Amino acid sequence: MNDARTRILSRLRAAPPSAVPDLPEWDPPVYEQAARLARFRTMFEAMKAEVHDVDAATWPQRLRTLLDNRGVRALLHGDGSPVATQLAAAWSGDENAPELVAYDRVVEDFKEELVHRIDAGITWASAGIAETGSVVLWPTAREPRLMSLLPPIHIALVDESTIHDTLADLMAAQGWTLRMPTNVVVVSGPSKTADIEQTLAFGVHGPKELIVLVIRKAASAG
C-alpha cells in the first residue's frame, strides 16, 4: 500500500504544472443600502423563500402571525438562546402560542422529537449576502446544524447591518483569514434538488419553507 502511494505521489510531483487559465478580472458588485436590501430580497424570493422586514422590539409578534398561518405548534430554538428569551417574554401567558422547544439534548436522545414533533426551527444568521440572496450560519453546540436542516420550516433572523454585498466582502469584514469558522452554512432558499428529470424541485431533502426576518432599525411592512 505504501509503495503504491509512493508511486502515485512521485508521478504527481514529476508532472508538469498545469497552465493557469487567463480569467477576466472580477468586478464585484457594490450596492447602496436600499439596493442591497432589494437585491437580497429579490434573490431570495426567486428561490421561493420569504423575506420580511421587522424591528428588534416587535419581531416576535410578526413571527407569531407567520407561524399561526402555517399551523405551527412547536418551534425549536437554541439552548439558552436570547432569541428564545425574547419569544418567551412576548408570548408569555398566551396558551395558543407555539410551544418553545430547546435543543438541549444530544441528537440520539432527541431524534424522535426532531423528526416527528418539531414544526419549525429558528436560528440566528451571522450575516447575509445580497449578491446571491443568502444567509450565513455558524452552527454551534447550542445551535447545531440540524436546527436548520430537519424542521419543515426554517426561520432565519439576520440584522440588516450584517448584510454584505458579496461573500468576499463578508469574509473580509468578519476576518475569516484570522478566525475561519469550523462549520459555515450558506442558505439561499428552502431545500431543492434537480435530480428528478433535471427539474428543480423544492422541499425534497430538507426544509420545505425558508422565512428570513431582516431586523431593521426602522422596519417597514414586508
pLDDT digits (tens, 9 = 90+) for 169-202: 999 999 998 887 788 999 998 877 776 677 777 7
Q: Where are the beta strands (DSSP E) in 111-169?
A: 120-124, 127-129, 134-137, 153-159, 163-164
Q: Name the helix (H) or strand (E) containing 75.
A: strand 74-78
pTM for the model:
0.84
What are 51's three cell numbers?
A: 423575506
Q: Label residue 218 by pLDDT band (50, 70, 90).
A: low
Residue 163 identity: I
